[in-house]
Structure 1
């Protein structure tokens, strides 16, 4: 790892307050490469943007066009004889 990369290390220790079977102290140590976390956050943001665009497109595709719907209803009514088409 180069010196230009920021690395954060943390160590936590939890001491058990009681004794007995199944009770133990816990030690946790981890380090995080901040530049890697930043890249991961950027990828997550891009995926969220892509998901939002896809949802908008799906919504537009599934949203019925009122004029197409009215035209379809008019055709059905004309075929049934319930609507007579008259030209002005």
Structure 2
């Protein structure tokens, strides 16, 4: 049995626990306005999503077009995601 180089368990030796650093979520003052559209576009560009989830993506886009947010925060989310819609 071999462990691939670069795999999650490649650097783990018996008796030595891995060291995990805490992940810090950026606060609202440090939020990148392009992170959400970039992440969503990346997900929708995956071959498995295109191949196996085409109907779900079309339904999601249809729901997005019908969505009428009322709060300022949700309106901002909708505005940021408008660019992703053009890539579909």
Q: Which has the higher contact order (CA 8 A, sep 6+)?
A: 2
Q: Which has the higher helix share?
A: 2
Query: What's the TM-score, normalizing by structure 1?
Result: 0.22
Q: Which has the higher strand share?
A: 1
Query: What's the TM-score, normalizing by structure 2?
Result: 0.22
Whichever of the two has the greater Rg, that structure is: 1
